[in-house]
A and B are shown apart, each in its own frame.
Chain A
Amino acid sequence: MYQSTPPYGGPAMRYYQGPYSRGAPLPRSDQEIRNEIVARLQADPWVNERNVKVEVNQGVVTLTGEVDIMEEKRSAGDDAYDTPGVVDVRNELRIAKMEPLSRARREPPAPRRPGPSEGLPAPGGQGRGPARVR
């Protein structure tokens, strides 16, 4: 079942359980929602809560800031989605380590060529590889 007090459910309790199955959203104040989201972020091992700024306006959560990795952005968004009373989530977190990722996509590594010491034996050689010393 949904758990609104710590320890908050991790991935085991994520998803489709909780407020959604109950119909209308709970009437909660923005401050209350914000407090729970911040507590969830603190309890979330993926997220460094100092990187995330939470704003709640009439149940619409806005997450801003710069996080390190993709899991952090996704996980912070899920923490917001998991909080009852939330009407919409705008995940505007920026991912700091995006640049190496997009560079890897823009400039795929060149196809590897065999080095001078590998590949076919040089012409004129024995053709059986280097002589073995016994």
Chain B
Amino acid sequence: MAMQGGPGGWSCGPGWGYGPPAARYYCVDYTLANVNPFRSDEDIRREIELTLVFDTWVNSDEVQVQVEDGVVTLTGEVDSIVAKRSAGDDAWDTVGVIDVVNNIRVRHVQPVEEPEQAQPA
């Protein structure tokens, strides 16, 4: 769920009364000391899924979460880029996460054709 205190001594929340407004970034201390080695992948996955349920920007049914060795992979298909971004941020904000691979597809965006690989002669 949402972090309550940032490492810089600011609490997180809207407006300057809490520090810099919307400082979503600095809410988690991504340092080696903060990686909890005892946190299982299953535990992380459950917390992210619960966060997605309560995130009003995302329909949690559309997003699948996989966690492997602390690396979160999000897949699925959502309606807007905001939902994709928000799901990614939910994953980033979870303690114990090392990296996020956001493979969510946005509907109505044409998939970009990969550049042609030079064929070996």
| A-to-B contact residues, CB < 8 Å | 10-16, 20, 57-60, 62, 69-71, 73-75, 77-78, 81, 86-89, 91, 95, 98, 100-102, 104-109
Judge whether B80 and A20 touch: CB under 8 Å: yes
Asked if B37 is at the interface (CB within 8 A of a chain A CB), the reply is: yes
| B-to-A contact residues, CB < 8 Å | 20-26, 30, 32, 35, 37-38, 69-71, 80-82, 84-85, 88, 92, 96, 98-100, 102, 106, 109-110, 112
Known interface pairs A14-B24, A75-B25, A105-B98; A20-B88 also in contact (CB < 8 Å): no
Judge whether B37 and A109 touch: CB under 8 Å: yes
Judge whether B81 and A105 touch: CB under 8 Å: no
Judge whether B38 and A108 touch: CB under 8 Å: yes
Judge whether A104 and B35 touch: CB under 8 Å: yes
Tally of A-B Cβ pairs under 8 angstroms: 87
Judge whether B106 and A88 touch: CB under 8 Å: yes
Judge whether A60 and B37 touch: CB under 8 Å: no
Judge whether B23 and A88 touch: CB under 8 Å: no
A58 to B102: give the CA distance in the assembly, Å: 19
**Closest CB-CB distance, A3 to chain B, in whole Å?**
14
Known interface pairs A12-B22, A101-B70; A86-B32 also in contact (CB < 8 Å): no
Complex interface: chain B residues within 8 A of A58 (CB): 110, 112
**Closest CB-CB distance, A60 to chain B, in whole Å?**
5
A-B contact pairs, 10 of them (CB 8 A): A11-B20, A13-B22, A14-B24, A20-B82, A70-B92, A74-B100, A87-B106, A101-B98, A104-B32, A108-B37
**Closest CB-CB distance, B94 to chain A, in whole Å?**
12
